[in-house]
Amino acid sequence: MLPLPKKYFITAAAAEGETELTAFDGALLKARVGNTNLLRVSSILPPGCEYEPDLVVPPGSLLPVAYGEITSSTKDEIISAAVAVGIKHGSFGVIMEFSGRCSKEESEKEVTKMVEEAFKIREMELDEIKIASVEHKVKNIACAFAAVPLWY
C-alpha cells in the first residue's frame, strides 16, 4: 500500500525543444518536476494535504502528479495548459487539468468549470480554488505543461 501524500504544489510552464520529447522535458524542468519520475494520477487531493508552494522534491523520486500537457510544432500557434485544485476545508479536494490550442484564460475558465462541476456531482461545498496555467506561442516545437505534484 502506498502512503497518502501530505503536501502538494501547483505549477505550470512552457518550453521549446528540437523534438516533442525535449520540449516536454524542458517544460517539466521549468515546472520544477523535470528531475523526477512522474507517476500520473487522476483527480483527488487527499484529505489534509497541505499546500506548500516552495516544495522541493528530491531528484529521481517517484512523483505522483496530475497534469495536462500539449505539444505543437505549428509555428505561431497559441497553446496552453492549466490545472485547478478545488478545496473543501476539512475534507478531500478535486484536481482538474486541461490543455489545448487556446489562450491561458480559456484554459483557466475550463478547469474552473470542471472543478465546480466535480463538486456539484459530489454534492460538496467548494471553499477555494487554486489555479496554475501557462500560455505559449510556438516558435519551433513547444510544450505547455500544468501540474499538481503530490508529496509525502
Q: Is 84 helix (H, G, I), strand (E, B) or coil?
A: strand
Domains in the chain: boundaries: 7-52+61-151
Look at the chain and count its residues. Answer: 152
Q: Which of 20, 43, 106, 116 is catalytic?
A: 43
Active site residue 35: no
Instruction: Supply the pLDDT for residue 91.
Output: 96
Active site residue 73: no
Angle at 85 between CA 69 and CA 10, to 5 degrees: 60
So what's the architecture of 7-52+61-151 in CATH?
3-Layer(bba) Sandwich (3.50)
Task: Please name which of 128, 152, 137, 127 lies closest in space to residue 5, comparing C-alpha atoms.
Answer: 152
Cα gap 140→72, rounded to integer Å = 8
H or E element, residue 135 = strand 128-137
Q: Is 120 helix (H, G, I), strand (E, B) or coil?
A: helix
Cα gap 11→2, rounded to integer Å = 24
Q: How confident is the model at residue 2 (pLDDT cuts 50, 70, 90)?
A: confident
C-alpha cell at 57: 522534491
The single-letter DSSP state of residue 34 is: T
Q: Which of 35, 37, 73, 91 is catalytic?
A: 37
Active site residue 43: yes
Q: How confident is the model at residue 1 (pLDDT cuts 50, 70, 90)?
A: confident
Q: What is the pLDDT of residues 74-133, one digit of tens each?
A: 999 999 999 999 999 999 999 999 999 999 999 999 999 999 999 999 999 999 999 999
Active site residue 42: yes
Q: What is the pLDDT of residues 132-143, one digit of tens each?
A: 999 999 999 999
Q: Which of 69, 72, 80, 97 is catalytic?
A: 97
